[in-house]
Amino acid sequence: MTKRKVEVCFSPELIHLHELENKIVVVVDIFRATSTMIAALGNGVASITPVADLETCRAMQSEGYVIAGERNGQTAEGFMLGNSPLAYLDGAYANQKIAMTTTNGTLAIEKSKPGSKQVLIGAFVNLRATAYYLTSQNDDVLIHCAGWKGKFNLEDSLYAGALVSLLEENFEFDCDGAIAMKGLYESNKSDLAGFLAQASHAKRLQNHQIEADIDFCLSLDLFSIIGKLQGQELVAQVIETK
Ligand code: MLT
């Protein structure tokens, strides 16, 4: 198999600089959207429909969806469910269809669709499953960081470094971003939580007393599933990594 390529896009504002055609795009929003989506799918949720705007998401309640909405780290007005991964761990939403809108993550998913071969969601909680799946495919990979309101963020970029580090045996780096983040990850992987405690969104969540979510989002390989977009819905696919 010819060596495939992996590259990193640091923000949805930069996605136009990257070619999506025939690539697998892995969207990452560590604090918290993609971590929450994997936790939900890993606890039996039937599907998650990412929605860019609040109005559209609210309206989906009348179609039988459980709606989840977050803005600026807090539960959006008129929504019961915000964006905490902990809300799904007891299986309360098993077999339900979720419609979800968040500040950055759902927008990044939307911007990853045009032309891409597959869209996956990635998080530390299913890091190895995603790497294993990508290695089993025959396509180039683009890691798309959701960032914060168009800006670079530390946690998504560090995840990109972690994934690149697991892929390097079978993929070549097609951008300096991949090299830079691999280096940053490898020099901080022994204390991810300590390093990311200084991340701007971690501080924002701490201000909202949402520390438990941060700890969860930095847990490694809790789920052996990938989250994959099928049509407009994200669904789980179990990955046997042994
Ligand atoms: C986002 O989409 O920006 C994040 O998921 C925000 C959050 O959950 O705090």
- Over residues 43-101, the pLDDT tens digits come to 999 999 999 999 999 999 999 999 999 999 999 998 999 999 999 999 999 999 999 99
What is the percent of the chain where pLDDT is above 70?
99
pLDDT at residue number 20: 98
Q: How confident is the model at residue 1 (pLDDT cuts 50, 70, 90)?
A: low
How close is the Cα of 169 to the center of ligand 1, in Å?
32
Q: Is 34 inside a domain boundary? A: yes
Mean pLDDT of 149-155: 97
- For a pocket test of ligand 1, which of 30, 34, 79, 102 has the largest count of ligand atoms closer than 8 A to its C-beta? 102
Is residue 240 included in any domain, yes or no? Answer: no
**Residue keyed to tokens 């819905």:** 233
Q: Which domain holds residue 152?
A: 4-230
Digit-coded pLDDT (tens) for 170-218: 999 978 999 999 999 999 999 999 999 999 988 888 887 788 999 999 9
| Residue 122 in this model has a pLDDT that exceeds 90 | yes
Q: What is the mean pLDDT of residues 101-122?
A: 98
Whether 242 maps to a domain, the answer reads: no
Q: Is residue 238 part of a domain?
A: no
Looking at residue 76, what DSSP letter applies?
A: P
Query: In this structure, is residue 236 part of a structural domain?
Result: no
DSSP-derived secondary structure for 136-182: HS-S-EEEEE--BTTB--HHHHHHHHHHHHHHTTTEEE-SHHHHHHH
Whether residue 76 is contained in a domain is answered as yes
Mean pLDDT of the chain: 96
- Residue 189 confidence (pLDDT): 96
Q: Report yes or no on 114 lying in a domain.
A: yes
Q: State how far the Cα of 227 lies from the Cα of 230, in Å rounded to an integer.
A: 10
pLDDT at 234: 98
Atom of ligand 1 nearest to the CA of 84: 8
Q: What is the CATH number of the domain that holds 220?
A: 3.90.1560.10
Q: How many domains does the chain have?
A: 1
Q: What is the Å distance from ligand 1's center to 34 Cα?
A: 9
pTM of the model: 0.97
How many other C-beta atoms lie within 10 A of the C-beta of residue 127? 21
- At 240 the pLDDT is 87
The alpha carbon of 134 and the centre of ligand 1 are apart by a number of angstroms equal to 25
pLDDT of residue 206: 83
In a domain, 241, yes or no: no
